Amino acid sequence: MSNLDINHHTHKQFNTELKDLHNQVLAMGGLVEQQLADALAALTDGDRTRGDAVNNNDYKVNAMDVTIDEECAQILALRQPAASDLRFIVSVIKTTTDMERIGDEAAKIARMAVQLADQERPKNNYAEIEHLGQKAQQMVRDTLNAFARTDAEAALEIAQKDAKVDREYEAVLRQLITYMMEDPRSIRRVLDVIWAARALERIGDHAKNICEYIIYLVNGKDVRHTHPDEIAHELSKEN
Amino acid sequence: MSNLDINHHTHKQFNTELKDLHNQVLAMGGLVEQQLADALAALTDGDRTRGDAVNNNDYKVNAMDVTIDEECAQILALRQPAASDLRFIVSVIKTTTDMERIGDEAAKIARMAVQLADQERPKNNYAEIEHLGQKAQQMVRDTLNAFARTDAEAALEIAQKDAKVDREYEAVLRQLITYMMEDPRSIRRVLDVIWAARALERIGDHAKNICEYIIYLVNGKDVRHTHPDEIAHELSKEN
């Protein structure tokens, strides 16, 4: 943790607890990242087994969410943290909620992958989804790195990229609607692809939420519902 | 608050703060409820002005979310609450996040209503959406009542109803897909109706989340990711 010093406590046990919590959030993030990668591979490779595995592993993400929340409640009760420690705990509670929902969206993509595995594959082999998926994956990866280093500047940059994911999702959606209109028999199949695209767009939103908690953690400012350019302006005034 | 006694503090100011927080959450819930009602009316009446009003009011929901979170952080820092007070604060932080997202979904429905207002209306005047919307509204209303009375049993009953909303959403979706297949020129329009239906389904999910926080608040148990029947079994063991 570069910007947030959690080694300043006289109580050694408390340091250990905060570091442990930090590591657990990163471990949960790593699992969610893997789930997303597997779900996308299942979709583009038409790999039903891999899709099923993602669904079967979703409970692990949920379990980590519950465990981390319990630990946060414990620390709040026993250590009564203040200032940046308190902000850290609040950020963790919020971050894991969004991570759990990224996991849910990955599981949805995996369910779509399983349904699509049995059906005729389009000529481009879901290239649009693959591309949108790469963008969403990159956002999640960068967000976890920003959390690991408690880097508010990186978090702000990532949050600004969410608009790009949204625009790409809109373009994919328009393309998919055209497919449906050209071949109405494909409607059901294409709708599954639309659900997958929408899940990726939501994953971008959740990553953006986590970035906003990182900024709150570092700067003590709640920047949700604020335009990224405004946030950048606010942060530049402080530095 | 029937089941949760917040009058037990020797510090009068702290009592006032907790009661005030409780009232603020209910006020936010009331606003979100109104937004949802207006969004649905805009859709079924084809009322563009009302739809625009919902979108213009979304910032109010966001502002309440930020204010309540700030107050929670203040109370955590200054009062260092323990046991049920601490659970109350954690529940509030989580509840307002889900309320804010119900507000987002209502705004989405309003945007769809605005887009659909200019287009040809189906013969049934979106009766499916109206019906699904009534179910979702009822869930939100019941959830707010359960929160107001801190009633875990009511919360459990409401959480169990979410499966019904999900089933009705699936039925509506099948119906809408049939429309698209019968008349491919309607695809774009029907997709907007599908987005509205999906938003209602998600509102049910968010209401269920809030119910789970109420159960946690009363029983000190994290029941997320647990099947409602199992929760009922657990709670019955305790009573």
CATH number at residue B209: 1.20.58.220
Q: Which residue has the tokens 């109580």?
A: A11
Residue A184 to residue B181, Cβ atoms within 8 A = yes
Residue A83 to residue B77, Cβ atoms within 8 A = yes
pLDDT of residue B1: 45
Closest C-alpha among B92, B88, B54 to residue B70: B92
Task: Tell me, yes or no, whether B225 lies in a domain.
Answer: yes
Q: Are the C-beta atoms of residues B93 and B65 closer than 8 Å to each other?
A: no
Query: What is the complex's ipTM, to 2 decimals?
Result: 0.78
Q: Are the C-beta atoms of residues A6 and A89 closer than 8 Å to each other?
A: no
Q: Give pLDDT tens digits for B84-111.
A: 899 999 999 999 999 999 999 999 999 9
pLDDT of residue B5: 55
Alpha-carbon distances of A75 from A29, A153, B2, B71, B98, rounded to whole Å: 21, 28, 28, 19, 24
Q: Are the C-beta atoms of residues A30 and A144 closer than 8 Å to each other?
A: yes
Helix %, strand %, coil % for chain A, to 5? 85, 0, 15
Q: d(Cα B40, Cα B44) in Å, to the nearest integer? A: 6
pLDDT of residue A97: 92
Q: d(Cα A97, Cα A69) in Å, to the nearest integer? A: 9
Q: Is the pTM of this model over 0.95?
A: no
pLDDT of residue A2: 45
Residue of B nearest to A98 (CA): B97
Q: For chain A, how many residues are written?
A: 239
Closest C-alpha among B149, B142, B134, B130 to residue B208: B142
pLDDT of residue B190: 92
Q: Give pLDDT tens digits for A49-90.
A: 999 999 999 999 999 999 999 999 889 888 888 888 999 999
| Cα of B130 to nearest chain A Cα, Å | 23
Residue of A nearest to B100 (CA): A225
Task: Tell me, yes or no, whether B16 lies in a domain.
Answer: yes
DSSP, collapsed to helix, strand or coil, labels residue A118 as: coil
Q: d(Cα B197, Cα B205) in Å, to the nearest integer? A: 13
Task: Tell me, yes or no, whether A105 lies in a domain.
Answer: yes
Predicted confidence (pLDDT) at residue A112 exceeds the cutoff of 50: yes
| Cα of A41 to nearest chain B Cα, Å | 26
- For residue B197, give its domain range: 12-238
Residue A225 to residue B76, Cβ atoms within 8 A = no
Task: Tell me, yes or no, whether A224 lies in a domain.
Answer: yes
| Cα of A63 to nearest chain B Cα, Å | 8
Task: Tell me, yes or no, whether B212 lies in a domain.
Answer: yes
Task: Tell me, yes or no, whether A143 lies in a domain.
Answer: yes
Q: d(Cα A71, Cα B203) in Å, to the nearest integer? A: 29
Q: For chain B, how many residues are written?
A: 239
Task: Tell me, yes or no, whether B123 lies in a domain.
Answer: yes
- Distance, first Cα to last Cα, chain A: 19
Residue of A nearest to B98 (CA): A97
| Cα of B5 to nearest chain A Cα, Å | 19
Q: Are the C-beta atoms of residues A152 and A91 closer than 8 Å to each other?
A: no
Six token digits for residue B168: 């009705």
Task: Tell me, yes or no, whether A184 lies in a domain.
Answer: yes
Q: What's the rounded mean pLDDT across residues A142-157?
A: 96
Backbone torsions φ then ψ of A224, nearest 5 degrees: -65, 155
Mutation target to probe the A interface, by most A beta carbons within 10 A, among B174, B187, B188, B189 is: B187
Q: Are the C-beta atoms of residues B69 and A222 closer than 8 Å to each other?
A: yes
> Which residues of chain B approach chain A closer than 8 Å at the C-beta?
59, 62-63, 65-66, 69-70, 72-73, 76-77, 80, 82-83, 86-87, 90, 93-94, 97, 177, 180-181, 184-185, 187-188, 191, 222, 224-225
Q: Which residue has the tokens 């350019």?
A: A229
Backbone torsions φ then ψ of A121, nearest 5 degrees: -95, 140
Domain count for chain B, please give it: 1
pLDDT of residue B7: 54
Residue of B nearest to A66 (CA): B222
* Low pLDDT (below 50) residues in chain B: 1-3
Q: What's the mean per-residue pLDDT of chain A?
A: 90
With b for 16 or more beta-carbon neighbours within 10 A and e for fewer, the A44-67 pattern comes to bebbbebbbebbebbeebeebbbe
